[in-house]
Structure 1
Amino acid sequence: MPTTATTTPYAAFLLRVSLGLMFLAHGALLKLMTFGIPGTMGFFGSLGYPPIFGVVVIVAEIAAGIALIAGVWVRLVSILALPIMIGALIQHSGNGWLFSATRGGWEFPAFWIAALLVQAGLGAGAFAVDTNKLLGRTPATARA
């Protein structure tokens, strides 16, 4: 029977890639390719945010998706993505719980927040890019 020590890296990997694919789907496919930059900026403007926030969110979601899938700086990326999801939670909080409600409820952003916190706690897991090698560090000189 597998132990937690042997399965945890693979569970973290599965969560990491799932979150990464979801960020890519929302940033690249939905916001960039479906709504476009002008549409996304217009939407953020209609919510009372500076329209440029739409571009910032597109870039952040695509970058987070790529980093999570690759397994690069996973703890940091998971924490840095939280403000996006907290903003989505705030935006959807008045629409009810279910995300299928008109204008979307808050269940999906709340789940993303929980999943990002879990990912930050677990770390990258299996099959992650070795960021020490990217930075030219050896394990003895690497910082925790």
Structure 2
Amino acid sequence: MSTNTADLGAFVLRVTLGVLAFSHGFILKVLTFTPAGTAGYFESIGYPAAFAYLVIFAEVAGGLALIVGFLPRLAAVGLIPVLIGATLQHAGNGWSFSAAGGGWEFPAAWTVLLLASALIGPGAFALGRKLPGKLASL
């Protein structure tokens, strides 16, 4: 099986997005802030604490799925609502993510990149390519 540059590009995009998601979910929200701290933050901005645990799960599971290429289109689409929420949360801070509280530039770009990854497909070295039938393309 030969791998073309488009497959390699899709692979690089998929893995990069997966590492970002995983690191935000596990390193930042689990190891740094702790799940309870993340839940407390969600409550402080008006969301139910349970949303924090859903976001942590989505970022960790979705990130891992993207990294290994297991149902990567579904993983990318599943992460889009999380990033839309992050974009909306940061919208009041201005455009630049370097602004106080972080602007909406980074999560908006991340949202678009997830959509692009879902549209492009898994690319090279995707574990899901071994799945039967149409599952292999998800």
Above 0.5 in TM-score? yes
- Residues 1-144 of structure 1: pairs in structure 2 closer than 5 A: 6-133=4-131, 137=132, 142-143=133-134
Identity of aligned residues (%): 48
Could you tell me how far 1:52 is from its partner in structure 2? 1.1
Amino acid at match of 1:58: I
Root mean square deviation of aligned Cα: 1.3
Distance 1:130 1:18 in 2: 17
**Cα distance between partner residues in 1 of 2:53 and 2:19:** 19
Deviation at 1:132, TM superposition (A): 4.6
- In structure 1, stretches of 5+ residues that fail to align are none
Letter in 2 for 1:50: P
Report the count of equivalent residues.
133
Q: TM-score, normalised by structure 2?
A: 0.92
Deviation at 1:76, TM superposition (A): 1.1
Q: Which runs of 4+ in 1 moved over 6 A?
A: none
Deviation per CA, 1:97-126, whole angstroms, max 9, x where unpaired? 010111100000011011001100111000
Query: 1:130: Cα distance to partner?
Result: 3.2
Q: Going by fraction, where is helix more abundant, 1 or 2? A: 2
Offset at 1:131?
A: 5.0
Structure 1 position 33, deviation (Å): 0.2
Matched residue type, 1:71:
G
The one-letter code sitting in structure 2 at the alignment partner of 1:54 is: A
Tell me whether 122-131 or 14-23 shows the greater mean CA deviation. Answer: 122-131
